[in-house]
Structure 1
Amino acid sequence: MKTVLITGCSSGYGLATARHFHAQGWNVLATMRVPCAQTLPESPRLRVLPLDVTQPDSIAAVLQASGSIDVLVNNAGIGLFGAFEATPMATVREVFETNTFGMLAMTQAVLPQFRVRGAGRIINVTSSATLAPMPLVAAYTASKAAVEGFTASLAHELAAFNVDVKLVQPGYGPTTRFTANSGARLQGLIPPAYAAFAQQVFAQFTQTTLLTREIDVAEAVWRAAHDTSGQLRFPAGADALMLAQV
């Protein structure tokens, strides 16, 4: 019976992924900043653990509590919509701290046990924003594009140790808490000069028929966890699959 550790499980893609792996018989370590087990099934194969990927002490504590794991899913992330001109650099750094540096820190922390064991898999969840340019998400896209480049390089670096690294690229998921979780960071990021353009962009989002469901991402992570073909990127959701073919 294998064990997966998933970051960012309080809602959305992380929550769906935790449920999916548990339903398939795996041991699941579902982590989130503020532990809440109410949305997950009660089971001896599922533990909810506190984790803030931006805090080294928190990462060390969760790995000590987790013991041996087989797969790490770096899913924790925060969103950001807005004109880059109006985005404070402190906000940009906050996004990178979670989306990029938090993922790097988690990966670095699990590598010793994977390397010594000669087995393990890391799955990094990015975004379809890396597949095609999208307006008003420049800083967010940069944080995810960095993960894409890092993952592709690390896959080569770890192949000699039989450690696999994969990417899952979700599309636009309106049923997730992506915008809500962005919170106060979004305030003031659409100044008057950008208002008309932003309205056009938001209208396009509401009119799109190609969307990503939480289960689409969970299933893509599952495929990435079991892939033996050497495939690196796994688009998730109808819109991401379409963009990956362009």
Structure 2
Amino acid sequence: MKTVLITGCSSGYGLETAHRFHAEGWSVAATMRTPQDGLLPASDRIRVLPLDVTDPDSIRWAIDAAGPVDALVNNAGIGIVGAFEATPMLHIRRLFETNTFGVLAMTQAVIPQFRSRRSGVIVNVTSSATLAPMPLAAVYTASKQAIQGFTGSLAHELAVFGIRVRLVEPGYAPSTRFAQNIPLPVDALVPEAYRAFAAPVFAGFATPAMVTRESDVAEAVWQAVNDVSDRLHFPAGADAVALARAACRAD
């Protein structure tokens, strides 16, 4: 039986991905900052583990508790929407600690066991904002673009050890709690000078032409883990797929 460790399983993409892998017969180490009962089915193939990806001790404990794993899915992340000018550096650093440094730390922690077995898969969940950056999301996009470059480089570095590294790029999912971990109201992040510009942007968020479902992301992660080719990018959701195709045409 194969085992996957997934970060950020309290809701959204991570929770749906945990359900998907369990349904496929995998053992699942579903991690989250504060474990919650009832999110996942009672099963001897599911372990819900506490994990804060910004805490080295928490990372070490969770990796040890999960035991040998065949795949790591770096899904935990937070969002922020607003004008860069008005975004406090404290919150920028907090976002990077989770979205960027948390991914690096988790990946570094799991590589030794993958390298010793000469197998394993690392999937980093980023965003379609890396395909077509959107306004009022400069900080979030920067944190995810860093992981895009990191993943592409790491894929070459670890291939010699039989370790596959993948990117899943979700589109826009209104149902996810995108910015809930940033304790600032949107009004504080959009000064008066930006209000006229921001209004149609937020209207577009409220009524998107295409959306990504949690199941789209779970499916893309499943494909990424099981794909044995050299493919790096796995856009998830109709909007992300359209953006990826447009980017290819532009190139």
Q: TM-score range by the shorter chain?
A: over 0.9
What is the RMSD of the two structures over their aligned residues, measured on CA atoms?
Answer: 1.0
Judged with a 3 Å threshold, the aligned counterparts in structure 2 of structure 1 residues 183 and 212 are, in CA distance, closer, same or farther, namely farther
C-alpha deviation, 1:133, in angstroms = 1.8
Asked if 1 retains the 8 angstrom alpha-carbon contact of 2:91 and 2:182, the reply is: no
Judged with a 3 Å threshold, the aligned counterparts in structure 2 of structure 1 residues 124 and 237 are, in CA distance, closer, same or farther, namely same
- Match of residue 120 from structure 2: 120
C-alpha deviation, 1:184, in angstroms = 2.9
Per the alignment, in what secondary structure is the counterpart of residue 161 of structure 1?
coil
Q: Which residue type is aligned with residue 166 of structure 1?
A: R
1:131 has 2:131 as partner: yes
Asked if 1 retains the 8 angstrom alpha-carbon contact of 2:78 and 2:180, the reply is: no
Per the alignment, in what secondary structure is the counterpart of residue 160 of structure 2?
helix
Judged with a 3 Å threshold, the aligned counterparts in structure 2 of structure 1 residues 208 and 175 are, in CA distance, closer, same or farther, namely same
For residues 138 and 216 of structure 1, what CA distance do their matches in structure 2 show?
25
For residues 187 and 50 of structure 1, what CA distance do their matches in structure 2 show?
33
For residues 31 and 57 of structure 1, what CA distance do their matches in structure 2 show?
14
For residues 48 and 185 of structure 1, what CA distance do their matches in structure 2 show?
31
- Match of residue 102 from structure 1: 102
- Match of residue 207 from structure 1: 207
Gaps in structure 2 of 5+ consecutive residues: 247-251
1:52 has 2:37 as partner: no
- Match of residue 223 from structure 1: 223
What does the per-residue CA deviation read over 1:136-164, in whole Å, with 9 as the maximum and x for residues that have no partner? 00000000000000000000000100000
Judged with a 3 Å threshold, the aligned counterparts in structure 2 of structure 1 residues 85 and 217 are, in CA distance, closer, same or farther, namely same
- Match of residue 15 from structure 1: 15
Q: Which residue type is aligned with residue 194 of structure 1?
A: Y
Per the alignment, in what secondary structure is the counterpart of residue 180 of structure 2?
helix
Asked if 1 retains the 8 angstrom alpha-carbon contact of 2:81 and 2:189, the reply is: yes
For residues 186 and 202 of structure 1, what CA distance do their matches in structure 2 show?
10
For residues 37 and 168 of structure 1, what CA distance do their matches in structure 2 show?
28
Gaps in structure 1 of 5+ consecutive residues: none
What does the per-residue CA deviation read over 1:101-147, in whole Å, with 9 as the maximum and x for residues that have no partner? 00000000000000011000000000000000200000000000000
2-11 or 224-233: which moved more? 224-233
Give me the TM-score of the superposition, normalised by structure 2.
0.96
Asked if 2 retains the 8 angstrom alpha-carbon contact of 1:211 and 1:239, the reply is: yes
- Match of residue 25 from structure 1: 25
For residues 166 and 185 of structure 1, what CA distance do their matches in structure 2 show?
34
Asked if 1 retains the 8 angstrom alpha-carbon contact of 2:86 and 2:191, the reply is: yes
What does the per-residue CA deviation read over 1:157-188, in whole Å, with 9 as the maximum and x for residues that have no partner? 00100000000000000011113344437461
- Match of residue 150 from structure 2: 150
Judged with a 3 Å threshold, the aligned counterparts in structure 2 of structure 1 residues 168 and 185 are, in CA distance, closer, same or farther, namely farther
Number of paired residues?
246
Judged with a 3 Å threshold, the aligned counterparts in structure 2 of structure 1 residues 114 and 187 are, in CA distance, closer, same or farther, namely farther
C-alpha deviation, 1:206, in angstroms = 2.1
Identity %: 65
Q: Which residue type is aligned with residue 209 of structure 2?
A: T
Q: Which residue type is aligned with residue 61 of structure 2?
A: A
- Match of residue 77 from structure 2: 77
What does the per-residue CA deviation read over 1:180-234, in whole Å, with 9 as the maximum and x for residues that have no partner? 3444374611111111111110111223221000000000000000001211000
Give me the TM-score of the superposition, normalised by structure 1.
0.98
For residues 27 and 16 of structure 2, what CA distance do their matches in structure 1 show?
15
Per the alignment, in what secondary structure is the counterpart of residue 184 of structure 2?
helix
1:196 has 2:196 as partner: yes
Asked if 2 retains the 8 angstrom alpha-carbon contact of 1:80 and 1:185, the reply is: no
Asked if 2 retains the 8 angstrom alpha-carbon contact of 1:71 and 1:120, the reply is: yes
C-alpha deviation, 1:44, in angstroms = 0.3
For residues 54 and 185 of structure 1, what CA distance do their matches in structure 2 show?
23
For residues 37 and 119 of structure 1, what CA distance do their matches in structure 2 show?
32
- Match of residue 249 from structure 2: none
For residues 231 and 149 of structure 2, what CA distance do their matches in structure 1 show?
15
